[in-house]
């Protein structure tokens, strides 16, 4: 396994973060304190810190969509991405960019979806049928 990344994000409600990351996304909870919670985000360490300033700061046009910036997420195996997309759709998640295929028929073709956590942080989860396309030009 490649080295896991560590990412700390601001949230304005730890209970909502726990329900979203732990409940909806199914991320196991690690250590926590009064102002932060560690989550296992598909093998990576995500820390939700109680702080002001969550949310987006703008967007960039990509393949006909306005992609929120900043954003983060995980590249999942195709079947796991499909299962997550279905779970989020069943839960009524409001997507910034609905699950779909980006760059169809081109180098870097990928499944992608964007949505926000309760604090407004933007997430993108994606998948490649051929992971070798991840950095293809």
**pTM tops 0.75:** yes
**Percent of the chain residues past pLDDT 90, beyond the cut:** 80
Q: Cα–Cα distance between 96 and 33 in angstroms, integer?
A: 31
Q: Residue 41 — very low, low, confident or very high, per pLDDT cuts 50/70/90? A: very high
On the question of pLDDT at 1 being above 90, the answer is no
Is pLDDT at 54 greater than 70 in this prediction? Answer: no
User: 106 vs 69, 93, 100, CA distance in Å?
Assistant: 24, 29, 14
For residue 28, pLDDT beyond 70: yes
User: Which domains does the chain possess?
Assistant: 6-50 (3.30.720.120), 59-133 (3.10.180.10)
CA 37 to chain CA centroid, nearest Å: 17
């Amino acid at each position: 396994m490649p080295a896991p990344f560590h990412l700390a994000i601001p949230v304005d409600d730890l209970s909502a973060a726990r329900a979203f990351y732990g409940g909806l996304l199914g991320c196991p909870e690690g250590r926590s304190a009064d102002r932060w919670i560690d989550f296992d985000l598909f093998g990576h360490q995500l820390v939700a810190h109680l702080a002001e300033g969550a949310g987006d700061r703008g967007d960039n046009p990509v393949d006909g969509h306005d992609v929120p910036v900043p954003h983060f997420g995980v590249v999942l195996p195709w079947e796991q991405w499909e299962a997550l997309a279905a779970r989020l759709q069943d839960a009524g998640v409001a997507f910034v960019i609905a699950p779909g295929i980006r760059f169809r028929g081109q180098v870097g073709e990928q499944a992608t979806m964007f949505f926000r956590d309760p604090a407004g942080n933007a997430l993108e989860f994606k998948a490649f049928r051929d992971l070798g396309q991840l950095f293809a030009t």
